[in-house]
Amino acid sequence: MARSRILVVGAGFGGVECVQRLERKLGPEEAEISLVTPVSYQLYLPLLPQVAAGVLTPQSVAVSLRRSRRHRTRIIPGGAIGVDPKAKICVIRKITGEITYQPYDYIVLAPGSITRTFDIPGLVDNARGMKTLAEAAYVRDHVIAQLDLADASTDEKEREARLQFVVVGGGYAGTETAACLQRVTSHAVRRYPRLDPKQIKWHLIDIAPKLMPELGDKLGATALDILRKRGIEVSLGVSIAKAGPDEVTFTDGRVLPCRTLIWTAGVVASPLIGTLGAETVRGRLMVSPELRVSGLDGVFALGDAGAVPDLAKGGDAICPPTAQHALRQGRTAADNVIATVRDQPLRPYEHKDLGLVVDLGGRDAVSKPMGVPLRGLPAQAVARGYHWSALRTNVAKARVLTNWVLNAVAGDDFVRTGFQAQKPASLHDFEYTNAYLTPEQVREHTASLTVRG
């Protein structure tokens, strides 16, 4: 019997969990497993705001795939830019730019997401995202550069613009980013004697009427109170009308002199999803409770890529695209691929909510583990304990713990590491959103190929 060819796309929470489970449960004689990823690590995304703040080094949240796998899986260094589900071929652009074609019998799509943008003048060119490790490192360099330039400037208008920072998005990413970076800049005044701490202003805005509504009214109000007491101006029901290189216009008419716009207003599924020509729900592939993509043989999807029915809520509810869900869906996808290979019954994805954690930097945090509301140091202990335990390797755990202790004892540093370019990089540059094919282009690529079964 020929070995099944299993291809996993994406090395996020779901993809890596799926690969590891496949390796544990499938024998080498049953299947050959391949993983497509442009980077050689799994990014621990929830800790990116702490990388931007310099609390953690970039390497701490980049968990090596070579350490966390069993060495059976072939890692293809590149990005999947198209899938032909009829021919069962995935089109891959390697990190060298070379196009290659990977045939499969079963494919698990876990390519993650990209930053969601809108048709706002100047947004794509002037906003910075917080979705990748490179973006977090760039944002840190950029913020410190503004402090350096403001400290050296003799022009009050320039200084005012450089010391105003705007974060768009009142979800977890935006709230934690604003909180962590504000803490850094507030500590910076001790190292920049020419800066007036009253001139450093952080703005957090969101079009929604509530901050982090998933926390509930009480904890959401607590988080809002913490941010405002720290001097962050939070504006709800407001978004960006126009973004320029040195000023930002809000939808309420305010025009703010500003050189730093950080955009975290949600995510959308990877453009890879659009190459399959399959039915979608809210931009994600329609899948069954068993994570199979409707109408496509051998295709599974999860996380940000799949609109997985939420059986706990029932009705038309779908699971939110969180790391907690992606991790557990990765296990279910692996089990169902194995069941398909062995001609066994599949099982649906069901879950129990483990709660929420929000780290606001320092001693500030709000958490809701298993529905129990916490704030302050107990919430901080739960938040960091959860993140620490979720890291896959002991090396990553040691690095993160060491960084936390060092930051608590020695405080913040204000060092630019060289990511600050002469020409600011756009969202497209960091997230490669222009790299994907159309369904027609995918078919053109695969039409001339002869794939042996």
DSSP characters over 172-201:
HHHHHHHHHHHHHHHHHTTT-TTS-GGG-E
pLDDT, the chain, mean = 92
Between CA 288 and CA 305 the distance in angstroms is 13
pLDDT bucket at 420, cuts 50 / 70 / 90: low
Q: Lowest-confidence range among 305-309, 315-319, 413-417? A: 413-417
> Nearest to residue 182, comparing CAs of 361, 419, 56?
361
Structure tokens, 367: 């958490």
Q: How many CB atoms lie within 10 A of CB 255?
A: 12
For 231-264, how does the pLDDT look when each residue is reduced to its tens digit (9 = 90+)? 999 999 999 999 999 999 999 999 999 999 999 9
What local confidence, expressed as pLDDT, does residue 453 receive? 43
Share of the chain above pLDDT 70, in %: 97
Q: What digits encode the pLDDT tens for the residues 377-390?
A: 999 999 999 999 99
71-110 pLDDT per residue, tens:
789 999 999 999 999 999 999 999 999 999 999 999 999 9
For the segment 197-219, what is each residue's pLDDT rounded down to a tens digit? 899 999 999 999 999 888 888 99
Average pLDDT value for residue range 405-434: 79
CATH code at 4-115+268-352+431-447: 3.50.50.60
Say yes or no to pLDDT of 451 above 50: no
Which has more confidence, 426 or 325? 325
At 452, is the pLDDT very low, low, confident or very high (cuts 50, 70, 90)? very low
Instruction: Answer with the residue of higher pLDDT: 413 or 286.
Output: 286
Instruction: Tell me the C-alpha to C-alpha distance, in Å, between residue 106 and each of 1, 33, 109, 300.
Output: 16, 10, 10, 8
Q: Rounded to a whole number, what is the distance in angstroms from the first to the last CA of the chain? A: 12
Give the pLDDT confidence score for residue 68 in this predicted structure.
64
Taking the domains of the chain in order of start, what are their residue ranges?
4-115+268-352+431-447, 123-265+355-420
CB-side neighbour CA atoms (13 Å) of 131: 26
DSSP 301: E
Fold agreement (4-115+268-352+431-447, 123-265+355-420):
yes
For residues 133 and 48, the answer to whether their CB atoms sit within 8 Å is: yes
Q: What is the pLDDT of residue 355?
A: 81
The confidence score (pLDDT) of residue 69 equals: 54
Please report the pLDDT score of residue 421 as a whole number: 60
| d(C-alpha 331, C-alpha 406), whole Å | 35
Domain 123-265+355-420 CATH (choose: 3.40.630.30, 1.10.3720.10, 3.50.50.100, 3.20.20.70): 3.50.50.100
Rg (CA), the chain: 23
Q: pLDDT tier at 419 (50, 70, 90 boundaries)?
A: low
> What sign for the dihedral angle of Cα 108, 59, 325, 348?
positive
Q: Which of 87-96, 349-358, 390-399 has the lowest mean pLDDT?
A: 349-358
